[in-house]
Amino acid sequence: VYRAFREGSRLLANGDAYAAAVALEQARALEPDQGSIREALARAYFASGRVRAAEAEFAAALALDPVNDYAHFGLGVCRLRVGDRVGARRHLRLAVAMHPRPEYRAALARVGAP
């Protein structure tokens, strides 16, 4: 599991999101309840343009760890990408409240006030 996760993370960091997704899918098959694997797979899916798949993985990561600020951010960005501004705002606000990183704030600003 660790080898597949590490390889997927390395591939993702090197910009090969498609290959990263394959490795991370293998890791998820072995450890489906590992939030870090689900989050990394979501990142790989998003980077490869598979927004709906990324959305599902970010949601799975949050089901395992509801205080994962990056998963809230990622889910918010996915929701924004598919046109769900209300859902995007909800998750981006949570991400900013947990950890006010500049990229979280910028994404929330793109959604705008209700």
Domain boundaries, the chain: 1-63, 66-114
> What's the sign of the alpha-carbon dihedral 17, 109, 65, 82?
negative
- pLDDT tens profile 33-63: 999 999 999 999 999 999 999 999 999 999 9
pTM: 0.95
State the chain's mean pLDDT as an integer. 97
Tell me the HSE value of 32 on the side-chain side, using a 13 A CA sphere: 3
The pLDDT value recorded for residue 40 is 99
Topology classification of domain 1-63 = 1.25.40
3-state secondary structure of 34: coil
Measured from the Cβ of residue 1, the count of other Cβ atoms closer than 10 Å reads 13
- pLDDT tens profile 87-112: 999 999 999 999 999 999 999 999 98
- pLDDT tens profile 1-39: 999 999 999 999 999 999 999 999 999 999 999 999 999
